[in-house]
Amino acid sequence: MPRHKVRTAIHPHQEVPTIACINRAKTDLDVGFDKLIHALQIYLDDCFVPIWRTPAKLVKATKPRPGAWTMVFLDDADRPETFGRHDHTKNGLPLSRIFVKSTLEAGQSISLVASHELAEMMVDPALNLWCFGPKDAFYVYEVCDPVEEEDFPIDGIAMSDFVYPSYFEGFRKPRSTQFDYLRKVDRPFAVLPGGYLQARKGKTVKHIFGSEEKRRRVRKEDRRLHRSECRKEHFSRG
């Protein structure tokens, strides 16, 4: 079986979403679009699905498909210093946007941003998952943010590290199991130097940074339309 073929034998009644991958950017990507889609499919099939059991079929498209989720590559960001974000289409289906110019101008990898957004869309497509954790707070189910500057290659293309379900299980002892794909996290809710994590207590939402350098970089970003801000808005409405 080709290793990029979607494995659907997760549950006989589980729906496997199709994700329409659309390139509307006129700026050249730092990787061929067909090659990128192929690598992202391997990332899901070989790395992500065995852990999170969230399969999907990525297809190249020129426009959104009825009933499909969408990943679209655009030249310009909604706001400065935004590389990608995940929200929903007007029909309420999951949508990831990757902003090519801002990503490349910051020296970031398109494939790293795309794999980050894809992974987080697969685990929390409705943008509403939190779990109870340390200090009597709730922590967001973002699987790449705590390790977001760590990557590994697939066919020479950078893919994002991601945390495992065990990362959100506070009863786990340090170094007792694997907490992320690259084995760089040693305990639940830990944040690597290049990462961050969002937590809330009551109606107060804050970011936990892995380093002061990361805190300074994030503070320079315009995050008004970042998925983390969408979560805060949804929560405050509740």
Residues belonging to the chain: 238
What's the rounded Cα separation, in Å, for the pair 219 and 206? 12
User: pLDDT at residue 13 above 60?
Assistant: no
Q: Give pTM, 2 decimals.
A: 0.85
Give alpha helix (H) positions in the chain: 33-42, 49-52, 100-105, 110-123, 212-219, 227-237
Residues 198-216 have a mean pLDDT of: 91
Contacting residues for 157 by C-beta, under 8 A, at least 6 apart: 31, 35, 36, 39, 111
User: pLDDT at residue 223 above 50?
Assistant: no
What single DSSP character describes residue 115?
Answer: H
Say what the pLDDT of residue 79 is.
Answer: 55
> Domain limits of the chain?
18-237
Other CB atoms within a 10 A radius of the CB of residue 183 amount to 10
Q: Which two tokens stand for residue 44?
A: 């899901």
User: pLDDT at residue 159 above 70?
Assistant: yes
CA-wise closest residue to 164 among 149, 148, 177, 150: 177
Say what the pLDDT of residue 91 is.
Answer: 85
Residues 16-24 have a mean pLDDT of: 97
